[in-house]
Structure 1
């Protein structure tokens, strides 16, 4: 692919890592952020020490504080901002963008209040004549590993195959590989909901439970994610792919995951407010838990693990008592959720 100009909105850990991938592929990369000191550091020291203490970025990666300047003549825009500010940033983009671009996002969450997926927010706020069909970049990936060029395989999902193929070609190289997918609903719900299960998996670890419990929550968590996703219109097969079970495994088992670390701290008895203050990064699983809980009630989808995590986080339920209650639920057939999915389809 010939060199493209790419604006990466959000100089967090994942935005920085993806910027390096694009730069490695010969593209002109512009990182936009609203913290002047961070942008100055990127431009003058070629580091982003808030997230990567020992990584030196290529000096061709340029930071921008001014959004209009960052978007001048770009071919594509990659949103990597927290879910709670996605709509605000999209509105700002729509105000200054003056030409059509490919719009991508690599964030993982659902908007509180509206329960909307990120691609829906971008479609609502950025006029259709200024953008492609939104492409979702998602899958099992830790920024800490991608930034050191560890092998990573993820998904580019879009309703338009050509747009997904464009993004696949934009990112793919010797250490970073993308597969295309047309199930945007499935990929986005998997990306968002796995963060909730990761909080639960971390809490089990913090409480001292072992690998048996870890396998249980990941497997049954995937069943719940699939049930809700299919009720929202997703293809159930998506959840056994990279953006489904792949992302759930990597997020629900690793210390690199801020959601897992938050759950681990909860399990050890720390208060949520202290955990959020000490993390220094957005814990998407906390806000997504509330959205998932509300969606499950609206769509009448049974999600006992999500219910339990919701009541622990938002209702101060005792974790150990909640686990016992979860374990003592009435017995069910293991493949009941498969039967339900077939019924929906």
Structure 2
């Protein structure tokens, strides 16, 4: 049931697992949803099968929810545009948006990542391409398949305009999806992005056969690294102890594609063979590059993420990376 004051006409851009889930969720709540996918042949397949077989198999798409590959048709008259495309492709989609068709609309970015070539967060990319739009971001411990199945979850929407954040909160909130608000856009975005390389590290530990002690250490020290870089970039430290930081990190270290990739590496597979074997975009691979570049910019030390980057791109073995982490000079916990 739609909440009072919520957005009524919504365009969801992106046919991945998260975009599909949000389109279904909003449709179930009674909103008017237009849904867009970039590839006409795949959009036709989704429409015919009433399922997203590649990214959300087993979830039935409601009969009243339609999908189109014509962007102008999807955004025409929308009050809220939800950008649910991979982070490295968000700029190209933003360039294609025609403001005349949604001049009064607000934008919600749900992509988790950092643009590799510019080191910009998703909100920065959107503002750069579209100007001073009404913008919010969403992040949190949100496994798309669980939410699509109606399992309980929570998330946070952040905006410098807290009234907009509250309106989006009202739009998305349901008996199974609890929404919180924040004004820390930088912290919410960086939490959602930086947890992915840490989750790769947790997965590598799983692949090597490590136990609960190792994973607890990775999660605990990983969130410290995330907060360290986030604060240097202007975020609030407390944001990293909330849903978009620690919450998302815990979920991603227990399940998800980034942990899975790390596990495969820990078992001896190469990065190239893993990437070729899955249609999923594994954001942590590119984010590890961006995190290292940002760490150099802000002069902060990220030991775990540095070792993940070395494993992915410098052919360092997981065993050698572990030695590098464990043999560092002792220090006080901070």
* Alpha-carbon shift at residue 30 of structure 1 (Å): 1.4
CA distance in 2, matches of 1:127, 1:230: 26
Contact 2:285 2:312 in 1 (8 A): yes
Q: Which residue of 1 aligns with 2:200?
A: 199
CA distance in 2, matches of 1:96, 1:275: 42
Map 1:171-320 → 2, pairs under 5 A: 171-254=172-255, 257-320=256-319
Map 1:63-82 → 2, pairs under 5 A: 63-82=67-86
The partner residue of 1:27 within 16, 24, 31 is 31
CA distance in 2, matches of 1:98, 1:205: 46
Distance 1:45 1:96, change over 3 A: farther
SS in 2 for 1:209: coil
CA distance in 1, matches of 2:313, 2:322: 16
Distance 1:162 1:40, change over 3 A: same
* Alpha-carbon shift at residue 177 of structure 1 (Å): 1.0
CA distance in 2, matches of 1:127, 1:310: 33
Residues 152-203 of structure 1 deviation map (CA, whole Å, 9 limit, x = unaligned): 1000100000110111011001101100000000000000000010011000
CA distance in 1, matches of 2:114, 2:98: 21
Map 1:42-61 → 2, pairs under 5 A: 42-61=46-65
Map 1:130-149 → 2, pairs under 5 A: 131-132=133-134, 134-149=135-150
Distance 1:3 1:322, change over 3 A: closer
CA distance in 2, matches of 1:67, 1:206: 41
Contact 2:77 2:101 in 1 (8 A): no
Q: Which residue of 2 aligns with 1:110?
A: 114
SS in 2 for 1:279: coil
Alignment of 1:122 onto 2:126: yes
- Which portions of structure 1, spanning 4 or more consecutive aligned residues, are displaced by more than 3 angstroms? 94-98
Per the normalisation by structure 2, the TM-score is 0.96
* Alpha-carbon shift at residue 5 of structure 1 (Å): 1.4
Residues 305-339 of structure 1 deviation map (CA, whole Å, 9 limit, x = unaligned): 1111111111111110110111010001112xxxx
Q: Which residue of 2 aligns with 1:340?
A: none
Per the normalisation by structure 1, the TM-score is 0.93
CA distance in 1, matches of 2:307, 2:7: 48
Residues 73-112 of structure 1 deviation map (CA, whole Å, 9 limit, x = unaligned): 1111000101111101001014663522110011100001
Residues 48-75 of structure 1 deviation map (CA, whole Å, 9 limit, x = unaligned): 1112322111112110111111111111
Q: CA RMSD in A?
A: 1.2
SS in 1 for 2:189: helix
Return 5+ residue gaps in structure 1 as ranges.
Answer: 336-345
Contact 1:43 1:59 in 2 (8 A): no
Q: How many residues align?
A: 330
SS in 2 for 1:112: coil
Q: Which residue of 1 aligns with 2:42?
A: 38
Return 5+ residue gaps in structure 2 as ranges.
Answer: none
* Alpha-carbon shift at residue 39 of structure 1 (Å): 1.5
CA distance in 2, matches of 1:96, 1:107: 24
Q: Which residue of 1 aligns with 2:16?
A: 12
CA distance in 1, matches of 2:101, 2:288: 34
CA distance in 1, matches of 2:59, 2:224: 38
Distance 1:229 1:12, change over 3 A: same
